[in-house]
Amino acid sequence: MRLRIFFAILLALPAAAAESGEAVYAQRCARCHELGSDRIPTRETLRKMPATRILRALNYGVMIAIAYTMNTSQREAVAKWLGTPGGDPEPSPAAFCADRSVKLAARPASQWNGWSPGADNARFQPAGAAGLNVDGVRNLKLKWAYAFEGDITAFAQPTILDGNLFVGSAGGAIHDLDAQTGCTRWVYQASGPVRSSILAVHEGARYMLLFGDQSGWFYALDAVTGKLLWKKKVEAHDAARLTGAPVAFHGVVFVPVASWEENRASDPAYECCTMRGSLVALRVRDGSQVWKTYMVDPPKRIGKKFGPSGAGIWSAPTLDIKRGLIYVTTGDNYSNPVTKLSDAVVALRIADGRIVWSRQFTDNDVFSGACVASPDCGPDFDFGSSAILVNAGGRSLLVAGQKSGVVHALDADKRGEVVWELRVGKGSRNGGVLWGMASDGQNVYAAVSDVSRKTHKPGDPADLRTNDVDPAAGGGLTAIRLSDGAKVWYAPAHPCDPPKPGCSPSQPAAVTAIPGVVFSGSNDGHMRAYAAEDGRVLWDFDTARDFDTVNGVPGHGGSIDGPGAVVVKGMVYVNSGYSRQSGMPGNVLLAFQ
């Protein structure tokens, strides 16, 4: 009932006055949908679909390559004009748990809360909480699979708390599942796709679930009931997206803000660019703002364009309670002039958001869809992963992996002075270290994307791909000794065998570590576990196949990109399916034991 009420309210809202769904369709959609191809749904077919399904396809589905240049009001207007009212159906009654009560202790016995088990963002689960050793990893078997209905991407990392699994979806649904069986306890519908990991915070007498969506909204839900407590738009810009997971300290939650404006700039009519990355501090109890710090100054018109812009924060901030600091890594500039806080590690004061120091690693990196074919375009070597705070060799190090393919170690006590650097990949616009590394305190483990592409020449108008991935190029996992930055071992990638559309050996997904084991997912659909001592493969599971699911929805795995494996109490959880970047689509959450 909650889903139907939400969508009924959404569709009853008028589209922005300046937007006409019919006009948007004529300008953006009719060229393909009026062709009469048997692979492209006609306008008559679309008119029989729920508007919510069409909107989901535009926001994070098969039509995202077209919809990147459309603003929110245009997407909503054309979906409402084309589709039928009413939302998606409720989950099947058979999908729900017999006992739907949610029990959470003030001090949970087992958990993986948010992006990393600890505020250091090391993505390391200790032995007691992991409940899994090397021998256990060798014998992992699939226990259950859950499919996200109507989605072709599964890109949100789950949070585990006292047997509850909280996870978002590309369709914007937040699920509370039983971590042992996968049955459903409750579902909440957000306003946009949810890629952010969910953070559970004990506030007063209850647990609150904190997360952001891909349209710039930030939420607080009651963890027991799934009911909305408060909801805030942390950034008014239409292109804002909240991809990085939040972190919290002493009643304040810190929200990183990025955007998809660099993609919108591929539209020649778009006046690039005005979006600014920021870190926002909100009070957990009510969402009121404590402070907000932008990474670039307000943009000004410069000829036909605007600038400065960009420096979005794509990953979870890293807390340093000892020094009273919070660290973020930043993206590139979208337009000139260039700024000093792009492609950088930035230290801010927890109390007020004042910038204490910063260290930039690639200057003059201006990149957007407006200049992608221009020699003036930068290398797009921003940071998509969090910095890891770790003690090594008597020093506190911040270790950050960059899309350039270089891992940097900075001295936290010397204002980010570089201690060592190591190249672990070639680096590219979608290469190098993308979503995250892991560290067990001795080594840091860095997987690289280094995806390679070639031009795609479609023979079918329904095929929207502009390039193909190389099934034999990319990937690799490196273990680096923290004390001095020396390479301990290198595990090469596994070329796709046999090659198939969307299959790449690249390893963009975040890495996860437990004692003796390192988990790394690949765009070939495999989740592999490597021995921490020498990089040999201990376990390998191909997720790119069909699954029978506990909720009765058809499930299929695909590329693994974005979140990493989550390990709690002897179980390993993996999301499979990533339709972006020419990857293989999928819609499943898999649980192994």
Task: Summarize the confidence of residues 151-171 as an average pLDDT.
Answer: 95
Task: Note the CATH number of domain 111-592.
Answer: 2.140.10.10
Task: Summarize the confidence of residues 481-493 as an average pLDDT.
Answer: 97
What pLDDT is stored for residue 8 in this prediction?
43
For the stretch 320-338, pLDDT in tens is 999 999 999 999 999 999 9
Per DSSP, the three-state class of 206 is strand
Q: Of the candidates 164, 209, 165, which has an alpha carbon nearest to the alpha carbon of residue 190? A: 209
Q: What is the DSSP letter of 348?
A: E
* Helix, strand, coil tally for the chain in percent (to 5): 10, 35, 55
Of the candidate ranges 82-91, 136-145, 343-352, the one whose mean pLDDT is the lowest: 82-91
Q: Which residues are registered as beta bridge partners of 418?
A: 410
Higher pLDDT, 456 or 353: 353
For the stretch 509-554, pLDDT in tens is 999 999 999 999 999 999 999 999 999 999 999 999 999 999 999 9
Element (H, E) at 57: helix 51-60
Tell me, letter by letter, the H, E, C secondary structure of 119-159.
Answer: CCCCCECCHHHHCCCHHHHHCCCEEEEEECCCCCCCCCCCE
Q: Of the candidates 238, 244, 274, which has an alpha carbon nearest to the alpha carbon of residue 256? A: 244
Task: Summarize the confidence of residues 130-142 as an average pLDDT.
Answer: 97
pLDDT at 463 over 60: no
Confirm if 511 and 433 have CB atoms less than 8 A apart: no
Mean pLDDT of the chain: 90
What pLDDT is stored for residue 12 in this prediction?
43
What architecture (CATH level 2) is domain 2-82?
Answer: Orthogonal Bundle (1.10)
pLDDT at 175 over 50: yes
What pLDDT is stored for residue 37 in this prediction?
52
Task: Summarize the confidence of residues 250-263 as an average pLDDT.
Answer: 95
Domains of the chain: which residue ranges? 2-82, 111-592
Q: Which percentage of the chain shows pLDDT scores above 90? A: 70
To the question of pTM greater than 0.85 for the whole model, the response is yes
pLDDT at 457 over 70: no
Higher pLDDT, 41 or 568: 568
What pLDDT is stored for residue 73 in this prediction?
84
